[in-house]
Structure formats: structure tokens, C-alpha cells
């Protein structure tokens, strides 16, 4: 067997194990907080041609969810309710979804489970592409190391089987930079086409991909200025003038292809639906963005419409989006989603190191990686960085990768939203490629020592991953677990509403215990035959109650941290952070013994459920 065949075989085994492990972990968990919404939006895209629901997340990845869920998933008035929302109805998306998902014939756990399957395939494709790029750069050792580093990362395992855009955008980013690397070496029609489609597909997957076109332009322009001959199609461009012409042709071709790809994702239609009555209320969206921005600037201040008109004006990006909308230069759903996302960058809570903040901190993501990545993996990453820096100019061939990782990481650090390490997933496959190349460099110099170090690291990594199964969303490394994950990070780093199945199993084992539930998530506890009393702040169809007799309080970690609760409920639930729980389920639901001595919860609720961006 040749070295190449052996490499393919090893990588295939790693990828197959990754797919099996990710699927098995996902099946042990219920739908996370946003999955029903994304799956429902995907169904509406595929079977009703309606892009209005969940427009802040572009449609490409959601097509996968809609197709996998199947045409018979939704019946009755599901689409009519979506259209009512799209026409500017008073209900927020989650309130509408609660009605469809909890009480109607809409998306259940089985449908979300089916919708997850193609996302695992995307994760496998991303790992395969990372291994391929590493192989092209440094050979077999690099390919195998890249595959293992990517596939045995708990963060990747956690999110590869989730109906979300994080892993799909990682694939398109990786493909775009792979094609960009190839174009910077030699321009071919195929590579330019792949680059254009990948950029357009990234834009049709996540609005943060607006960062990609300027990077492509900068890299191609820089290549034209490098005093080295640039092979272009069947010729070679040596003179600067010819390279500038080639640069302009590449940029124009990529621009046309990416523009066409984005329009294709929306069926080449400006309107969000075939129903001409379905339009977006742009002034209302702008008011919501302005309100969030003012609330971030003036926390605790009661705002009025006069404040909004006097103290806020749309910035350049919003004005550009409005211009494009007015002139129908991009699909309306994409532009409306872009505007909504601008508002999401303001006034978003951050929980880090035991503190709830109303502003982002620049060091959030480096800190999250330090506490959420396995120690063997952190050692591999650190060693790779040292090796590549030590190589100096010999590492210049990797500059598109380094640029992508550093640039994207810096943008996320200062983006203003700190709710999960998953927002960095776009660079994880590139880090895996760099790790593989660094390992190959070390192997060429000290093969025996490198082999022993890699085997030891991979054994420890595999053992850690096996120990954590299936709780990959709530995974923290050993020192962080000793400190207490709930005091370190929140939201999708720890609790994404994924452990109702675990709670149902616990209740089955303790049938005599009365259960009080304060749940954060997107699933319906009734789907798992849970018998409970919904407490104030619980994201369940019934809530608002107070404990009236001894029993067990089941409180989601996110509510213990108070991230999306009003001030009154935050104070009530925060006191349990200092108590030792009876048990912790899956890392995200904490059980406490209630003995009937605590003051009742009079009122309040999770502010997330209200239309918090509307001024009356």
C-alpha cells in the first residue's frame, strides 16, 4: 500500500469515528435553544419559498435542515403564522415558534434530529478538506495530524451535529482560503470559480462573511505586487502591469460569481416570499437597532421615541444596507438580516469569571479557548505556533492561513458579542492545518520524538473526549472543571438548553420527587414526558409559578447566571450559585433541594421573550 493510500485510509477512519461520535452525542441531547427556529425556517424556505423567518441567518445552511426534516414535518397553519410574522406582526420569532412548536403540529424533536444529519456531513467535509490542504502543504503526517486535531476537538464535536451556521461557515471559509491559496500560487479557471462560489456561499450562510471579500481583494492585490512571476492560466505574468491586469480579472470574476451565488441562494428573488404582501418593515428594524444601541450607551435609562430620534443615527454600514435595499441590489431578506445583526452587536450580556456584564470584553475568546479546549490540544496548538514562528521566512507559504486565523480572531474579539466559543469555529479547521504542517516539520527533523509526543497527546486527548461523552457542549478542561464551569462562562459554552433528556431520565429514576423547573432552551419538556411546575423565568409553555411544597429545583445554568432574566429574578436565582447542588445533569441543569423555606417568586420573567427592542 502506498503512503498516499495509507494516509487516506487513516484519515477515513478518523472521519468515520468523528461522524459516529458527533451523531451519538447529539442523539443523547434534545434540541438546543435555536435549532427549532432554524429548522422551521429551513422548512419554510424549501417547501414554501419563504425567507422571512429567521432572516438574520442567511438561508444556505438552513436548506439542509429543511430538506432533511422532510415535507410532511409541518402541517396546518404553520406557514400562515410565519407569514403573519413576516408582515410585521406583534409576536417575536420565539413567541411564534413557541406556539407552533409547543402547542401546534410543528417541529418536534424527531424533526430536529433529522435536520441535524446533513450538518454532521458538513463537519466531515470540513475535516476532509483540512486534511487535504495539510497534505498538499506538508505530506501525510500533516494530513493525519490535521484530521485528528480537528475531529477530536470537543468544541467541534459539540457543534457539528447542531442545526446552526457555525460549522457550515467554517467549511466555506476553509474552502475560500484554500482556493485563495491556490490562486496565489497559480491562477486557473477552476480555482477562481471555486473561490467565487465559496465567497458567495459564505455570504449566504452567515452575515459575518462580509469580512471575506475585502480579504480576498487584499490577498490577490498583494500577490500582484510581489516581485515573483505569477502563473496565470497558460501564461506567466512577470511584469507588474500584467500581474495587475490578472489581479483585476481575478477580483472581477470572483465578485461576479459570489454575487450570483448569493442571489441564487434566495432563488434570484428580491422579495422574501412569493406572496407580494410579505415585506420587511425596514423603519421598524432600524428603530430596534437604534434602541439596542442606546440601551447599551445608557443602561437603566427609560428611553422614548424622542430619545431615539434625537440621539441616534444609523451608521455607515446600516445606511449602505438601506441603500442596497431601496435599489434592490441584494435580496431583501439578506439585507434585513444584516440590519438585525447590527443591532445584535449591542447590549448583549456577557458572563465571564462569575460576573454578568452588559458589555463585551476583548479577552473573552482567548480566555474561552484556554478553559474550554483540552490541555493536550492546547499544547499542540502552542507547539505549532512556536515551530512556525521559529521557521521564519520558510513559513511564508502559510500566510493566507495565518492571515485568516489572526484576522478573524481579532474581528471576533472586538465584535461586541460574547456568547460562545462557537463563534470562532470558522478558524478551527485552519488551526488544524497549521498544526499538521508544524507536526510534519518536527517529524522531518526528529521523527521518533515527534511520533512519541503525538501518540501521547492523541491518547490523552481521546481519553478526555471519551470521558466527556456526550456532554461536549458543556465541556471544560480539567483545571476549569476543578474551578467550576458555571463560574467561568455561560450560554452556548455551557448551557444551550440541551439536557431535558437527561432530566427526564433523572425523573424516571426519582419518581417520588416533585420537580420545579426553570429551563433555558428551545425544547418542550412535555416532549419527554416531564412532570414539572414551571417557575418564573422558565422558557416553557407554562411558567410563572412559585414552589409551594418541598421538592427539587431544576435550574438551567444560564438562569443561575442570570444572563437573560430581569433584575428581580436574577437576584432570586443567583443565591443558588453559592449552594452545592444535589446533582448536575449534563453540565447544564443544576438540581437543588427545596425545603419550603425560600420566599416565593412573585412575578417576573425572562426578558428575552418580550419584544425588548420596541419603544412604546
Q: What's the gap between Cα 256 and its chain centre?
A: 28
State the average pLDDT over residues 566-574: 88
Q: E strands within 294-439?
A: 350-352, 355-357
Domain boundaries of the chain, sorted by first residue: 282-348, 495-609
Give the C-alpha separation, 137 to 129, whole Å: 12
What residue ranges in 190-303 does DSSP mark as E strands?
230-232, 235-237
Distance CA 590, CA 156 (A): 25
Mean pLDDT of 420-442: 95
Tell me the helices (H) and strands (E) count for the chain, helix number first: 25, 9
Q: How far apart are CA 345 and CA 220, in angstroms?
A: 30
- Torsion angle of the four alpha carbons 446, 452, 454, 457, in this order, in degrees rounded to the nearest 10: -140
What are the phi and psi torsion angles at 365 (to 5°)?
-70, -40
Residue 437 to residue 218: CA distance in whole angstroms? 24
d(CA 121, CA 127): 10
| Beta pairing, strands 533-534 & 515-518 | parallel
pLDDT tens-digit readout, 463-511: 999 999 999 999 999 999 999 999 999 999 999 999 999 999 999 999 9
The count of other CB atoms within 10 Å of the CB of residue 409 is 16
Between residues 44 and 59, the one the model is more confident about: 59
The 10s digit of each residue's pLDDT in 274-303 is 877 778 888 888 888 888 888 777 777 777
Band (pLDDT 50/70/90 cuts) for residue 80 is: low
375-399 tens-digit pLDDT: 999 999 999 999 988 887 776 678 7
What is the average pLDDT score of the chain?
Answer: 88
pLDDT confidence band for 97 (50 / 70 / 90): low
Residue 454 grid coordinates? 503525538
Residue 548 banded pLDDT, cuts 50, 70, 90: confident
What is the three-class DSSP state of 489?
Answer: strand
User: Is pLDDT above 80 for 224?
Assistant: yes
Question: Would you say residue 325 has pLDDT above 50?
Answer: yes
Residue with the bigger pLDDT between 606 and 58: it is 58
State which H helix or E strand residue 480 sits in.
helix 478-483
DSSP 237: E
Greater pLDDT, 602 or 157: 157
Handedness of CA 577, 578, 581, 586 (dihedral sign): positive
Q: Which residue has the cell 499538521?
A: 436
pLDDT of 238 > 60? The answer is yes
CA 507 vs CA 51, 243, 510: distances in Å: 40, 69, 5
For 170-183, give the DSSP string: HHHHHHHHHHHHHH
pLDDT at 440: 96
Give the pLDDT score at 606. Answer: 40
Gap between the Cα atoms of 85 and 592, Å rounded: 39
Q: Which helix (H) or strand (E) holds 515?
A: strand 515-518
Confidence tier at 255 by pLDDT (50, 70, 90): very high
Give the closest residue to 345 by CA, choosing from 411, 406, 281, 279: 411
115-148: buried (b, 16+ CB within 10 Å) or exposed (e) per residue? Answer: bbbbbbebbbbbbbbbbbbbbebbbbbbbbbbbb
Question: What is d(CA 109, CA 40) in angstroms, rounded to the nearest whole number?
Answer: 12
Amino acid at each position: 500500500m502506498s503512503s498516499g493510500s495509507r494516509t487516506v485510509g487513516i484519515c477515513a477512519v478518523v472521519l468515520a469515528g468523528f461522524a459516529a461520535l458527533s451523531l451519538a452525542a447529539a442523539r443523547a441531547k434534545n434540541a438546543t435553544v435555536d435549532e427549532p427556529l432554524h429548522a422551521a425556517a429551513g422548512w419554510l424556505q424549501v417547501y414554501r419559498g419563504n425567507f422571512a423567518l429567521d432572516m438574520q441567518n442567511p438561508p444556505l445552511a438552513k436548506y439542509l435542515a429543511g430538506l432533511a426534516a422532510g415535507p410532511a414535518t409541518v402541517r396546518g397553519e404553520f406557514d400562515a403564522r410565519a407569514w403573519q410574522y413576516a408582515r410585521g406582526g406583534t409576536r417575536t420569532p420565539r413567541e411564534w415558534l413557541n406556539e407552533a412548536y409547543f402547542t401546534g403540529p410543528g417541529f418536534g424533536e424527531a424533526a430536529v434530529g433529522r435536520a441535524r444529519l446533513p450538518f454532521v456531513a458538513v463537519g466531515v467535509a470540513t475535516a476532509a478538506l483540512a486534511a487535504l490542504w495539510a497534505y498538499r502543504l506538508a505530506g501525510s503526517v500533516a494530513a493525519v495530524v490535521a484530521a485528528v486535531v480537528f475531529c477530536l476537538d470537543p468544541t467541534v464535536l459539540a457543534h457539528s451535529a447542531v442545526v446552526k451556521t457555525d460549522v457550515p461557515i467554517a467549511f466555506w471559509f476553509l474552502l475560500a482560503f484554500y482556493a485563495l491559496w491556490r490562486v496565489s500560487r497559480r491562477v486557473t479557471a477552476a480555482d477562481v470559480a471555486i473561490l467565487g462560489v465559496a465567497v458567495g456561499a459564505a455570504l449566504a450562510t452567515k452575515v459575518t462573511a462580509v469580512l471575506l471579500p475585502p480579504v480576498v481583494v487584499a490577498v490577490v492585490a498583494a500577490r500582484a505586487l510581489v516581485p515573483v512571476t505569477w502563473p496565470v492560466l497558460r501564461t506567466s505574468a512577470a511584469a507588474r502591469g500584467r500581474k495587475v491586469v490578472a489581479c483585476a480579472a481575478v477580483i472581477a470574476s470572483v465578485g461576479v460569481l459570489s454575487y450570483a451565488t448569493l442571489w441564487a441562494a434566495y432563488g434570484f428573488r428580491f422579495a422574501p416570499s412569493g406572496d407580494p404582501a410579505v415585506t420587511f418593515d425596514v423603519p421598524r428594524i432600524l428603530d430596534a437597532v437604534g434602541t439596542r444601541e442606546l440601551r447599551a450607551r445608557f443602561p437603566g435609562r427609560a428611553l422614548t421615541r424622542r430619545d431615539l430620534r434625537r440621539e441616534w443615527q444609523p451608521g455607515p454600514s446600516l445606511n449602505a444596507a438601506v441603500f442596497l435595499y431601496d435599489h434592490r441590489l441584494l435580496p431583501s431578506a439578506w439585507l434585513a438580516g444584516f440590519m438585525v445583526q447590527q443591532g445584535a452587536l449591542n447590549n448583549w450580556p456577557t458572563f465571564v469569571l462569575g460576573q454578568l456584564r452588559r458589555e463585551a470584553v476583548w479577552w473573552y475568546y482567548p480566555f474561552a479557548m484556554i478553559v474550554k479546549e483540552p490541555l493536550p490540544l492546547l499544547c499542540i496548538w502552542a507547539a505549532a505556533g512556536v515551530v512556525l514562528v521559529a521557521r521564519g521566512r520558510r513559513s511564508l507559504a502559510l500566510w493566507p492561513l495565518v492571515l485568516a486565523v489572526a484576522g478573524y480572531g481579532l474581528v471576533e474579539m472586538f465584535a461586541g458579542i460574547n456568547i460562545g466559543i462557537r463563534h470562532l469555529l470558522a478558524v478551527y479547521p485552519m488551526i488544524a492545518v497549521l498544526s499538521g504542517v508544524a507536526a510534519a516539520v518536527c517529524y522531518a527533523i526528529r521523527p521518533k520524538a515527534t511520533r512519541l509526543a503525538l501518540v501521547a497527546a492523541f491518547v490523552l486527548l481521546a481519553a478526555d473526549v471519551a470521558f466527556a461523552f456526550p456532554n461536549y457542549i458543556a465541556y471544560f478542561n480539567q483545571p476549569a472543571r476543578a474551578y467550576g464551569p458555571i463560574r467561568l462562562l455561560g450560554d452556548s459554552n455551557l448551557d444551550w438548553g440541551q439536557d431535558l433528556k437527561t432530566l427526564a431520565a433523572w425523573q424516571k429514576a426519582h419518581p417520588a420527587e416533585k420537580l420545579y423547573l426553570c429551563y433555558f432552551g428551545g425544547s418542550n419538556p412535555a416532549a419527554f414526558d416531564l412532570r414539572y411546575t414551571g417557575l418564573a423565568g422558565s422558557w416553557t409553555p407554562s411558567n410563572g409559578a412559585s414552589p409551594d411544597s418541598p421538592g427539587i429545583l431544576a435550574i438551567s445554568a444560564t438562569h443561575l447566571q442570570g444572563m437573560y432574566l430581569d433584575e428581580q429574578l436574577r437576584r432570586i436565582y443567583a443565591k443558588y450559585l453559592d449552594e452545592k447542588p444535589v446533582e448536575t445533569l449534563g453540565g447544564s441543569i443544576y438540581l437543588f433541594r427545596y425545603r419550603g423555606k425560600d420566599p416565593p417568586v412573585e412575578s417576573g420573567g425572562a426578558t428575552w421573550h418580550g419584544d425588548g427592542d420596541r419603544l412604546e
